[in-house]
Structure 1
């Protein structure tokens, strides 16, 4: 990742990575590859959501007209996505521990949960990329957008443990 990417660039890039994962998930039939991708996508989304809540939502509140309500709406949507992720994780743990009694019922329920996660993640990405991030770039001082970019890059790198983080200060 470029060291000088601002907040909008960082999040757009991160959204593109998550979007690629959810599109692959949506295109696959149930099976080990899909299960692995769901695990990867949900883990990535959780770290993404944590970084957004810590850095992005305060910027929405501070710089966007109606940003306080927008931040509340974003938090609500993220919590709904977290619920979907937690349901997927519980279902995967039950299957892994042999706690699934009716495999067909589990498969149908799991497909619904995966579909919900995919759709909610896509909606989250579309709203932010099309409306909120461009508005933030327009409303926020350039230095602040750059600073947010450094904070987000650090937080996302730290969460993933991929070494992309740098000092957030």
Structure 2
């Protein structure tokens, strides 16, 4: 899918891609390697997306929206639950009976998070933010996704400034591991 535009368009495009990954996982043979490859690609997308939101979107939510601290904290807590599920999924083979259960839990968490972001958070941001600020945030999110980790790291900080300092280094290590193992191709 094409990426670009303001932060809301960028993240909404990511959300659509995530929906498509879940559909493809569901259609894949239950114990096949294709299912694991799709789960790895989904994990990469979700981790990169989450890191970018935590570095740039949620600080903007805190800054621009009344009650933004509580909203951002809730979204970050959602990410924490998703990251734990991704970490569990990472250790499972597609023929493990728990694999399908974790996928269902993950999809439920992710789809609820997406729905809230798209119906509440994005709509509120669009009403209070200048379009140029949303464009700038879109650029920052795209840059952050390029440098972000590709594997779940539930123990790492999820809020700036620590996340902004650690994510590029962790991301570099993850991308090197992915290159060596062929993960995500």
What is the rounded CA distance, in whole Å, between the counterparts of 1:49 and 1:119 in structure 2? 16
- What is the deviation of 1:26? 2.8
On the 8 A contact 1:25/1:34 being kept in 2, the answer is: yes
On the 8 A contact 2:6/2:137 being kept in 1, the answer is: yes
The residue aligned with 2:12 is 12
Ranges in structure 1 where 5+ consecutive residues have no aligned partner: 96-102, 162-169
The residue aligned with 1:122 is 111
TM-score, structure 2 length as denominator? 0.73
What is the rounded CA distance, in whole Å, between the counterparts of 1:2 and 1:42 in structure 2? 18
Among candidates 112, 127, 140, match of residue 151 of structure 1:
140
Q: What's the C-alpha RMSD, in Å, of the aligned pairs?
A: 2.1
- What is the deviation of 1:29? 4.0
List 4+ stretches of structure 1 deviating above 3 A.
157-161
TM-score, structure 1 length as denominator? 0.79
Among candidates 103, 125, 131, match of residue 120 of structure 2:
131
Partner of 1:91: helix, strand, or coil? coil
Larger radius of gyration between Structure 1 and Structure 2: 1
What is the rounded CA distance, in whole Å, between the counterparts of 1:24 and 1:124 in structure 2? 20
